[in-house]
């Protein structure tokens, strides 16, 4: 698949402000299995597989807890290469006593959990593109129950000790305060296409993926305030091919940087 190659608009880094770096590092490195590529007393950068995608954690003191009504993170979605990987992750997480949910979205099978500070995480695998159903350039998606028994039958003895090398940030799902403003930025400015219809939501993609970015107003009606001093999502880096200059925008109170360099890990360490 080429949905995350150098021709596709995609999220390459997500920065979270956190309360306890040690606890969060334990989760992201040992539970999710991401590789720590840089670390100091107050921050860390973790690589998703061997991709150019990263998650950055910044510890801040006496920050504010945003209201659930504010724009922000719905979930970070990590894409695994094979169904067997999702099966191994499900067994691994079930041994960790971490609450987990699931959703069969027709195009994918997904597991949902929260990190120790309540940030939403999706771990999923894509069904073959040949199985996706389309109508009028819109992909059919749903939320059905995952057949966990069938999924667990796919697990291997190797199990889960780290995230697979071919894993990546598959998509990012955000809470927005205004769908019209979000549409103007992500579709008119960034160049994503509206790919699937859901009430009070926009699912958008590049190159006919089921979605690279989604936004919804299911919980939120207010922009983020005091973003730099708030816990949770604070900054998003988005790769846009042929973007002439690096640009940073304030959308819904969140910082979003558009860039045209896929290999940014070396610049961060």
What is the per-residue pLDDT for 140?
Answer: 97
Query: Given this model, what pLDDT does residue 266 score?
Result: 45
Location of structure tokens 């840089």: 38
Domains of the chain: 10-259 (3.10.180.10)
Residue 2: burial class (beta carbons within 10 Å; 0-12, 13-18, 19+)? exposed
Closest CA to 76 of 199, 264, 213, 248: 213
Phi, psi of 207 (to 5 degrees): 60, 30
What's 50's DSSP letter? T
Q: What pLDDT was estimated at residue 261?
A: 85
As a whole number of angstroms, the distance between CA 97 and CA 257 comes to 36
H/E element, 25: helix 21-25
Please calculate the CA angle 112-89-209 and round it to the nearest 5 degrees. Answer: 60
The residue whose two tokens read 């809470």 is 175
* 16 SS3 class: strand
Neighbours of 131 (CB within 10 A): 9
Strand order in the sheet with 201-205: 101-104, 108-114, 120-126, 72-80, 168-175, 213-216, 201-205, 193-198
Mean pLDDT per 10-residue segment, the chain (269 residues): 90 98 98 96 97 97 98 99 98 94 98 98 98 96 97 94 96 98 97 95 97 98 98 97 89 96 60
pLDDT value for 267 = 54
């Amino acid at each position: 698949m080429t949905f995350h190659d150098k021709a596709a608009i995609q999220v390459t880094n997500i920065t979270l402000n956190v309360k306890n770096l040690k606890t969060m590092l334990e989760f992201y490195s040992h539970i999710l299995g991401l590789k720590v590529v840089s670390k100091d007393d107050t921050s860390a950068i973790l690589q998703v597989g061997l991709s150019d995608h990263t998650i950055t954690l910044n510890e801040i003191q006496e920050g504010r807890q945003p209201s659930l009504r504010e724009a922000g993170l719905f979930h970070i979605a990590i894409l695994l290469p094979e169904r067997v990987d999702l099966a191994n992750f499900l067994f691994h997480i079930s041994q960790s006593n971490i609450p987990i949910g699931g959703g069969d979205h027709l195009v994918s099978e997904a597991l949902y959990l929260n990190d120790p500070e309540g940030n939403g995480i999706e771990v999923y695998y894509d069904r073959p593109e040949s199985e996706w159903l389309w109508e009028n350039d819109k992909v059919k998606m749903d939320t059905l129950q995952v057949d966990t028994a069938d999924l667990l039958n796919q697990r291997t003895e190797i199990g889960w000790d780290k995230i697979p090398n071919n894993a990546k940030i598959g998509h990012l799902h955000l809470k927005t305060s205004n769908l019209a403003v979000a549409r103007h930025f992500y579709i008119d400015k960034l160049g994503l296409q509206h790919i699937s219809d859901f009430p009070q939501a926009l699912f958008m993609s590049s190159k006919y993926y089921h979605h690279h970015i989604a936004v919804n107003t299911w919980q939120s009606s207010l922009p983020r305030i005091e973003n730099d001093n708030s816990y949770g999502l604070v900054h998003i880096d988005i790769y846009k091919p042929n973007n002439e200059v690096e640009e940073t925008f304030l959308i819904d109170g969140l910082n979003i940087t558009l860039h045209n360099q896929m290999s940014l890990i070396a610049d961060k360490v």
